[in-house]
């Protein structure tokens, strides 16, 4: 099992460019999440998907869109990147209950110039 | 305002001694707490959790203590090993928001051989 995979690992964008971060899990989990990690801020939830076909905003959704393509895949799109979106992005999945452990991918380091 | 706080950004401990990582939260409705560990260039991994109906949970060298009246939890690592050097995130979740977990900013632990 690969667990949670993310692509790409690194990306540099210019302000205004768009890109999609891909995430896939092979654990048959119902819930998937996108977080960003910034120094001194911990992990902040951007969007989550409680189950296939549903998505909801987290704490910091502005400037992002998501798609739960199927049970395995959950993508994060930046339509017009801004320097404030420079961060490390983590995708995670969990079976679904609030007490369930979340399993994280290795992260994508994004720099917006 | 951060709902989950880890007031020590870093901590250094000698190998073999006890490491104590602290976490405070503001929302008394949180009813489940988790600790995640993160190595550089990797995603966080689950370490240990505790339900609000308990005041202690132990797993090998790791013990989490919960003081609900003080809204405080702590992670004890005994004995500390160099491989424990990592960033530790405290996290809390709400039964009514079962898909959302609030993370603290993290504490970087260095275990000195």
Predicted pLDDT at B110: 98
Candidates A37, A46, A74, A89: best to mutate against B (most CBs of B within 10 A) is: A37
Alpha-carbon B51 to chain mean position: 13
Q: Is residue B38 within 8 Å of residue B44, measured between CB atoms?
A: yes
Candidates B99, B107, B108: best to mutate against A (most CBs of A within 10 A) is: B99
DSSP 3-state of A6: strand
Residues A79-107 pLDDT 10s: 999 999 999 999 999 987 666 789 999 99
**Higher model confidence: residue B97 or residue A105?**
A105
In chain B, residues with a C-beta closer than 8 Å to the C-beta of A40 are 9, 105
- The 3-class secondary structure across chain B, one letter per residue, is CCCEECCCCEEEEECCCCEEEEEEECCCCCCEEEEEEECCCCCCEEEEEEECCCCEEEECCEEEEEECCCCEEEEEECCCCHHHCEEEEEEEEECCEEEEEEECCCEEEEEEC
Q: Is residue A13 within 8 Å of residue A21, measured between CB atoms?
A: no
Residues B27-50 pLDDT 10s: 998 989 999 999 998 999 999 999
Predicted pLDDT at A18: 96
């Amino acid at each position: 099992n690969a667990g949670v995979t993310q692509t790409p690992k690194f990306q540099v964008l210019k302000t205004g460019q768009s890109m999609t971060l891909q995430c896939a899990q092979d654990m048959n989990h119902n819930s998937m999440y996108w977080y960003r990690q910034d120094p001194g801020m911990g992990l902040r939830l951007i969007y989550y998907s409680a189950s296939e076909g549903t998505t909801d905003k987290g704490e910091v959704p502005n400037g992002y869109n998501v798609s739960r393509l199927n049970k395995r895949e959950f993508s994060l799109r930046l339509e017009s990147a801004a320097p404030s979106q420079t961060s490390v992005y983590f995708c995670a999945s969990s079976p679904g209950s609030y007490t369930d452990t979340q399993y994280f991918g290795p992260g994508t380091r994004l720099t917006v110039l | 305002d951060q709902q989950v706080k880890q007031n020590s950004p870093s901590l250094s401990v000698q190998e073999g001694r006890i490491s104590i990582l602290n976490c405070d939260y503001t929302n008394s409705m949180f009813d489940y707490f988790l600790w995640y560990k993160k190595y550089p260039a990797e995603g966080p991994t689950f370490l240990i959790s505790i339900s609000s109906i308990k005041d202690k949970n132990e797993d090998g060298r790791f013990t989490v203590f919960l003081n609900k009246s003080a809204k405080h939890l702590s992670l004890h690592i005994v004995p500390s090993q160099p491989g424990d050097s990592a960033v530790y995130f405290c996290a809390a979740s709400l039964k009514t928001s079962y898909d959302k977990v609030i993370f603290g900013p993290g504490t970087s632990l260095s275990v000195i051989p």
